[in-house]
Structure 1
Amino acid sequence: MKATGGSDDAKRRAGERAAAEATDGMVVGLGTGSTTAYAIRALGQAVNAGLDIQGIPTSFQSRQLALSAGIPLTSLDAVDTVHLAIDGADQLAGRHCIKGGGAAHTREKIVDAAAERFVVVADRTKQVETLDHPVPVEVIPEAWTVVTDDISNKVGGAATLREAERKDGPVVTDNGNVVLDCEFGEIRDPAMLALDLAAIPGVVEHGLFINLVDTAFVGTDAGVEEQPF
């Protein structure tokens, strides 16, 4: 389930503003999605102008975009520190967000959580008071039916296997797993839901990013709002 919405100009402003946070010597986590793509392109332009950074991509998509933009790449196990991670969100409520519209949330969460500073780029349509977007859950393929039942019976959600748009069968992540999109309605206690989902056998990772967001750059038609948390 890929989140959409917001003008391209607002997304571009947010992405370019976040890219300006990168300075020489930084290792930068490169998220996945349409808004983050603007940040990656802006970082590439800065690298071509002399900025000395290394990027850690969180998906095949972000890796290919970073390579085409000329950003030198590294990996999480090859560095001591990730100084900055830039990523989008399907929905944002303060320091919590939901990710996984592009089925890359497992690698995104690993990099974003490892970063000294995690910056979310978004437009106004992604901000809410209370999270209520479907939560993507990456699952071992053999376990998806069992996990679906557990989400219904133990957590009170409705899980749907995400189907691919241009191939028969489900979406397959970069890790070789499948994704369940799980409806919970308004999520009043996202931290507890995160724990409940993580405890289900067969779940690789869920799309609730709890207390991870340090700053949001929110693009608007007039500019960019910086929101520190």
Structure 2
Amino acid sequence: MRRRVDRERGSASVEQVGISALVALLLIAAIAAVAAGGEIDAGRSLGSAIGRRLACGPHLPDACEHHPLVPAYGWPLARLARVLAPPPQPLPGPAGLPLVPVDFRRCRQPSCAVDAGPHLTASRRRTTAFTEIVDRRSSLGWVELVYWLYRPSLGWEAVRRRGSQADVDAAAGTRVLAGDDPALVPLETLPGRNHYDFPAGERPPWQWQVEGRYPGWSS
């Protein structure tokens, strides 16, 4: 029994050495990048790239390579979703402040949704729309896109669009970038989307209504 424990301790030590070696290699690479670039920005770029890889690893397939719309809908419909996305529009809140759509996971108070331009709120939250797509091209000849907009204290607004195959083809050259406004988050692949708690007046109409694209990940 004692030998078994000793072996387990030895294997743990090997794992620790491996992790330490990996960290050391990353530090060496960062230093080399700084030296080669001649600026701190070179090292920061490497650090940002490593951070993105670590952050996106546990997420959806292809999340490290593509915008979230792509694994959810495929490239043609992802491009169409970007083309038809409504621009962020402020609406007056209860206190009269102009509120824009935001990501409910990061902002639930009117104070963090105050309009400050198409990209960020006054509290530096991204303007955001949650998307739902139903492809009816094979039966009815069109795709239905729903953009769900959340403004704290005002609740949810649905903006509906329809696109034909011609619209899909016309969007073929559209770039799908994470920095575009508004940020688009597909509900079909949003983890735990049906289990977020909201006040009675702000409950999402889409909860338990959107079919997940990756069962077990987003129910």
TM-score by length of 2: 0.24
More helix by share: 2
With the length of structure 1 as denominator, give the TM-score of the two structures: 0.23
Q: Which has the higher strand share?
A: 1
* Greater gyration radius: 2
Greater RCO, CA 8 A, separation 6+: 1
